[in-house]
């Protein structure tokens, strides 16, 4: 399995390098809100724009996954604590059931 993972990362790295070499054309990035130019960057390689977009998407998706895992772990921890409390209560009730009530005890 380790070899397949290494092979996958080598292929991904090769693909990224080959992709970068094929898309070296320079582009101008503009972000405008209605008629106002808020942000402009000129002469950026196309592969850099694409790879940065992919990286940003992976980071945002990873943060969403991290948040979801955090919520699931918190819910699991709360459920485990509730189960422990209920188990203690059951043990307490079993202990009470083994001793007869005081009104049923025989007088000597």
* Chain segment 20-70, per-residue pLDDT in tens: 889 889 998 888 777 776 788 888 999 888 889 999 999 999 999 999 999
Task: Band the pLDDT of 11: cuts 50, 70, 90.
Answer: very high
| Degrees, nearest 5: CA angle 47-44-20 | 20
How many domains is the chain built from? Answer: 1
In a domain, 36, yes or no: yes
Q: Where in the sequence is the domain holding 71, given as residue range(s)?
A: 18-91
In a domain, 3, yes or no: no
In a domain, 108, yes or no: no
In a domain, 75, yes or no: yes
Structure confidence at residue 57 (pLDDT) = 94
pLDDT at 93 over 80: yes
DSSP-derived 3-state class of residue 34: coil
In a domain, 72, yes or no: yes
In a domain, 106, yes or no: no
| E strand spans, 1-108 | 26-33, 36-45
Structure confidence at residue 107 (pLDDT) = 63
List of residues 6+ apart from 51 with CB closer than 8 A = 16, 19, 20
In a domain, 97, yes or no: no
Structure confidence at residue 100 (pLDDT) = 67
pLDDT at 72 over 90: yes
């Amino acid at each position: 399995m380790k070899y397949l993972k290494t092979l996958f990362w080598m292929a991904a790295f090769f693909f990224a390098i080959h992709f970068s070499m094929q898309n070296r054309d320079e582009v101008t990035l503009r972000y405008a809100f209605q008629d106002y130019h808020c942000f402009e960057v000129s002469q950026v390689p196309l592969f850099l724009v694409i790879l940065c977009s992919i990286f940003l998407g992976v980071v945002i998706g990873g943060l969403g996954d991290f948040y979801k895992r955090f919520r699931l772990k918190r819910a699991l921890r709360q459920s485990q604590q509730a189960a422990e409390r209920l188990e203690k209560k059951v043990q307490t009730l079993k202990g009470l059931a083994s001793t007869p009530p005081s009104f049923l005890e025989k007088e000597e």
